Chains A and B, each alone.
Chain A
Amino acid sequence: MIRNYDKLIFELSKEGRTGYSLPKNELKEQHCICRLPANLKRESAPGLPEVTEFDVVRHYTNLSNKNFGVDTGFYPLGSCTMKYNPRINEEISALPSFARLHPAIPVEAAQGALEVYYNLAESLSEISGLGAFTLNPYAGAHGELTGLMIMRSYHMQRGDLKRTKVIVPDSAHGTNPASAAVCGLQIVEVKSTANGTVDVEDLKPLLDDTVAGIMMTNPNTLGIFETEIPEIARLVHECGGLLYYDGANLNAVLGKCRPGDMGFDIMHINLHKTFSTPHGGGGPGDGPVGVRAGLEALLPNPQVKKDADGKYYIDTDDKSAGYVSNFLGNFAVLLRAYTYILTLGRENVKMVGPLAVLNANYVKESLKNEYYLPIEGVCKHEFVFDGLADKSTGVTTLDIAKRLLDYGYHAPTIYFPLLFHQSIMIEPTETESKETLDEFIAVMKKVAAEAIENPDIVKSAPHSTPVRRLDETTAARFPKTTYKQLLG
């Protein structure tokens, strides 16, 4: 019954129904909105649904039943760090003493909130080995853009205007080149070696006085640690460039090594990956940006600081790369991340990376007979298969992903990284138990067996989901993106 629910909220609408209650307008006689000049008013009413409060509750509850979250089951989506999202984080983030704060409130009346911001920034500095953090950027991509703005400002303020190139490995997330382009930088790609790491010999000739810096993920998108990072850092610094660390994969090394110690100058962190804040179906997250000592002034405005008496205040700096947000970032997300760090404490933060890496290696070693592992060796928090080991079945990575849905799993990341044709990128995080992983391994083996014995059932999967494979071509060719367009 539940999964057959297929109404849009508009289709529940009936003229005259309401779902709200507001106080009576005692001032209407004297100050009626009807006095607003007619030429400033809209001509026809917006077509919003007319439904009761209960309609709304039941409708969205039914929609939620057609969704799969970390709470529902195992979510081995590579590069996304789908770890458990603790409920205490949610409770703290909704406390009225924070939720009711207007951003323009005087700092004396917001000392508690500013302390959260300040302490979280300090904690991230300690964890990542960089000097100072802004928490203002709203997401990972937004953090990247902010970090690149800082990189450009650094060069511009030194009067070095010719540095407009940024080097990006060919294994990078698509966001890296896109962020660089939006920041007005040209992208130069550096190749990977056969074992998936940056080819230092290919890098060397690229380094000249037009290079603003390099963007790297470490471990990279293949889950492999870039062991040559000290040498890469030396080379890039020698040519006058800066190193940017894409924190998408920070979970792998959390507690084990720090981007600052690797030689990175600027980085972003995805609080919604590493620090357990929920992904919310695509956001909100938060993308704090850290810089090494000496670059603090370039962090975006406004900046939160503490004076000699321990009082927090909001400052702006003329050297700042600029303003990237409305105020101090997604504050409720900051509350969640800080709660998580305090819950883990110093003794458990250092276990996150090791346990995540243990889980990844366990799954990788358990499945490498059935799936093709292009790069052998110890991986970090994630790893990539290049499709099935048996290449004769005609079953693709997409088919495998869809078949996993039938068995109650979210699919891994597929067709990324672009280095392989049939990439299946698996990231089991540290919050998954051996039993969960064992069940997943068994299902992955079963799907591999099905691909040989009964390939059609895999190719036509999924079979048991609320809807089955979708016609994406028609959706793009004749876009219907609103209810009005759907009605035609």
Chain B
Amino acid sequence: MKYFPHTQQDIQQMLEVAGLKSMDELFGEIPQQLLFNREFNLPEAMSEVEIRNYFEALGKRNSDLVCFAGAGVEDHYSPSVIAPIISRGEFLTAYTPYQPEISQGTLQYIFEYQSMICELTGMDVTNASMYDGTTATAEAMMMCVAIAKKRNKVLVSATVDPKVRRVVETYAKYQGVVIETIAEKDGVTDLADLEAKLAADDVAGVILAQPNFYGIVEDYTGVADMCHAKKAQLVMNAKLSALAVLKTPAEWGADIACGDAQSLGIPMTYGGPYVGYLACTNAHVRKLPGRIVGATTDVDGKRAFVLTLQAREQHIRREKANSNICSNQSLMALWVTIYMSVMGNKGLNDACSLSYSGAHYLAQQLVATGKCAMAYDKPFFNEFAVKTTVPAQQVLEALLANGILGGVRIADDTLLVCVTEQRTKAQMDKFVEIVNNI
């Protein structure tokens, strides 16, 4: 076996040093009835050639489609330099940077990641990353409750992605946190309902999305004041790639920003790995879960980076911890850090511009067929909801037959369609033509 270096002679010599006669003696203390004595019901070992053939054949049972689906996961451009850099063994095969003297590579890129996330969101401080956007939002919910101390109700807008809401609700359920939904009105958060639900002075936090699940850019003017007047934290789940253009969570007055960074060039890979982000104002840094990297100096005065503020973390606080998170999504944080470095502000803006133009063109063309109508009359970014005159499922099937993943069905007659900088005019025209021919 190529992964085991032991020769028979090695094994004999090592057993001797260990004062043992056989390999079985290594497990001699284990009660007999617990020992596993049959062959595993697993395939026989495969060579690398067979492995490649096997997965190539499996891959053929997946369809390679032109992707117009979004709903939290988008088909963005990924610069060629990223994969080779993150594949370097020094990054790939390192553990958590517990020995900073030999982990400055990891620690510095996390510091750069933190800096860039704060630039995009406008927030003061962020942790070193979370698993994904759904769990990052659940952690934000837990932060709100920890900050409020004696309140255990959190409001979540109906315009937040249902995939995020159901994870928040799951975490809340086991902690006895009450989640109430803020109604939606014409595709956006019903601010009158929000105000009414804040009235009882018992809300720890309010979770909103930007752009929202329907791709709409919501106008949150006055919302932060409304929350803060009732001592509730404002949490904004924002799409990072769009923040190159959109008003930032900080500018809206949010206390916590969170979400998924998949839109920063991470491949879709059937749901992961992605990376979540969680950022906040300085006031709440002690309640921020997860790792944080800070700058310092070594004994020679050299600039260096180190995991810091660890008194917050689970391995110190144990059962008093606000969160059980004890890792980060480091390699994917490196992915988006390289992405942001390569793209810069100008590249991010160009990608937003292409996505925005494409989405607005496609929406206009689809409406022109007479078979679709905009579900909402609100400003949107690169994703939009359309009502279809025939069942949405039928539209998706017609597109699928032509190698197109036409979007995500969110109601029997409603499709959520997403356009990124990777979609061409020709692809969109084909989409429209197929819909027109239904």
Residues of A within 8 A of B131 (CB): 138-139, 142, 283-284, 325
A394 on the B face (CB < 8 A): no
Residues of B within 8 A of A358 (CB): 6, 11, 14-15, 18, 23, 26
Identify the closest chain B residue to A254 (Cβ): B36
Partner of B324 from the list A83, A181, A434 (CB cut-off 8 Å) is A181
Partner of A476 from the list B41, B90, B94, B308 (CB cut-off 8 Å) is B308
Identify the closest chain B residue to A105 (Cβ): B405
Are B248 and A69 interface neighbours, CB within 8 A? no
A280–B274 alpha-carbon span in the complex (Å): 13
A9–B381 alpha-carbon span in the complex (Å): 30
- Known A-B contacts A8-B112, A33-B245, A63-B104; A51 and B344 likewise in contact (beta carbons under 8 Å): yes
Partner of B294 from the list A39, A99, A432, A476 (CB cut-off 8 Å) is A476
Residues of B within 8 A of A84 (CB): 3
Are B331 and A281 interface neighbours, CB within 8 A? yes
Partner of A56 from the list B11, B330, B341 (CB cut-off 8 Å) is B341
- Known A-B contacts A18-B344, A181-B319, A357-B26; A67 and B295 likewise in contact (beta carbons under 8 Å): no
List which B19-57 residues lie within 8 A (CB) of chain A: 19-20, 23, 25-31, 33-36, 39-46, 48, 51-52, 54-57
Residues of B within 8 A of A405 (CB): 99, 101-102
Residues of A within 8 A of B354 (CB): 22-23, 25
Partner of A431 from the list B5, B51, B353 (CB cut-off 8 Å) is B5
Q: Which of A199-207, A385-393, A466-474 contacts B (4 or more CB under 8 A)?
A: A466-474
- Known A-B contacts A42-B243, A321-B170; A475 and B30 likewise in contact (beta carbons under 8 Å): no
B229 on the A face (CB < 8 A): no
A45–B245 alpha-carbon span in the complex (Å): 8
A149–B69 alpha-carbon span in the complex (Å): 31
Identify the closest chain B residue to A47 (Cβ): B119
Are B296 and A475 interface neighbours, CB within 8 A? yes
Are A82 and B356 interface neighbours, CB within 8 A? no
Identify the closest chain B residue to A434 (Cβ): B10
Are A102 and B27 interface neighbours, CB within 8 A? no
Are B306 and A279 interface neighbours, CB within 8 A? no
B400 on the A face (CB < 8 A): yes
A321–B167 alpha-carbon span in the complex (Å): 11
Q: Which of B171-179, B198-206, B369-377, B384-392 contacts A (4 or more CB under 8 A)?
A: B171-179
- Known A-B contacts A110-B62, A278-B92, A326-B274; A23 and B421 likewise in contact (beta carbons under 8 Å): yes
B17 on the A face (CB < 8 A): yes
B297 on the A face (CB < 8 A): yes
Are A362 and B14 interface neighbours, CB within 8 A? yes
Are A467 and B270 interface neighbours, CB within 8 A? no
- Known A-B contacts A85-B92, A178-B321; A378 and B270 likewise in contact (beta carbons under 8 Å): no
Annotate B270-308 by CB proximity to A: 1 below 8 A, 0 otherwise. Answer: 111111000000000100000111111111101110101
- Known A-B contacts A40-B246, A178-B321; A357 and B27 likewise in contact (beta carbons under 8 Å): yes
Q: How far is the CB of A47 from chain B (nearest CB, A)?
A: 5
Residues of B in contact (CB 8 Å), total 202
Are A92 and B51 interface neighbours, CB within 8 A? yes
A113–B73 alpha-carbon span in the complex (Å): 17
Partner of B30 from the list A9, A33, A69, A256 (CB cut-off 8 Å) is A256
- Known A-B contacts A184-B176, A342-B51; A469 and B298 likewise in contact (beta carbons under 8 Å): yes
Q: Which of B76-84, B189-197, B430-438 contacts A (4 or more CB under 8 A)?
A: B76-84
Identify the closest chain B residue to A174 (Cβ): B315
Are B270 and A9 interface neighbours, CB within 8 A? no
A110–B269 alpha-carbon span in the complex (Å): 11
- Known A-B contacts A23-B354, A283-B131, A433-B5; A98 and B269 likewise in contact (beta carbons under 8 Å): yes
A431–B337 alpha-carbon span in the complex (Å): 32
- Known A-B contacts A178-B314, A326-B272; A471 and B345 likewise in contact (beta carbons under 8 Å): no
B398 on the A face (CB < 8 A): no
Partner of A67 from the list B69, B104, B163, B344 (CB cut-off 8 Å) is B104
Q: How far is the CB of B22 from chain A (nearest CB, A)?
A: 10
Residues of A within 8 A of B346 (CB): 18, 20, 50
A462 on the B face (CB < 8 A): yes
Residues of A within 8 A of B81 (CB): 19, 53, 56-57
Are B175 and A184 interface neighbours, CB within 8 A? yes
Are A322 and B324 interface neighbours, CB within 8 A? no
- Known A-B contacts A46-B119, A63-B108, A361-B26; A344 and B3 likewise in contact (beta carbons under 8 Å): yes
List which A71-116 residues lie within 8 A (CB) of chain B: 71-72, 75, 77, 80, 82-86, 88, 90-92, 94-106, 109-113, 115-116
Are A475 and B174 interface neighbours, CB within 8 A? no
Are A257 and B34 interface neighbours, CB within 8 A? yes
Are A281 and B334 interface neighbours, CB within 8 A? yes
List which B349-364 residues lie within 8 A (CB) of chain A: 350-354, 356-358, 360-361, 364
Residues of B within 8 A of A193 (CB): none
Are A64 and B88 interface neighbours, CB within 8 A? yes
- Known A-B contacts A227-B31, A325-B135, A465-B101; A126 and B108 likewise in contact (beta carbons under 8 Å): no
A26–B29 alpha-carbon span in the complex (Å): 73
A110–B115 alpha-carbon span in the complex (Å): 38
Are B167 and A480 interface neighbours, CB within 8 A? no
Are A280 and B330 interface neighbours, CB within 8 A? yes
A253–B34 alpha-carbon span in the complex (Å): 11
List which A13-52 residues lie within 8 A (CB) of chain B: 17-20, 22-23, 25-28, 30-33, 36-37, 39-43, 45-51
Q: How far is the CB of B70 from chain A (nearest CB, A)?
A: 9
Residues of B within 8 A of A104 (CB): 69, 71, 73, 405, 408
Identify the closest chain B residue to A479 (Cβ): B294
- What are 30 A-B contacts with C-beta separation under 8 Å? A42-B245, A53-B81, A63-B105, A66-B102, A77-B95, A99-B267, A100-B268, A101-B268, A101-B270, A103-B270, A139-B326, A142-B135, A152-B174, A181-B324, A184-B176, A225-B29, A256-B30, A256-B35, A279-B93, A279-B96, A323-B166, A325-B271, A326-B163, A347-B44, A347-B45, A358-B14, A378-B20, A378-B26, A471-B297, A474-B297
The 9 A-B residue pairs whose C-beta atoms are closest, nearest first, are A345-B45, A97-B59, A71-B89, A322-B170, A327-B271, A67-B105, A280-B331, A69-B93, A282-B330
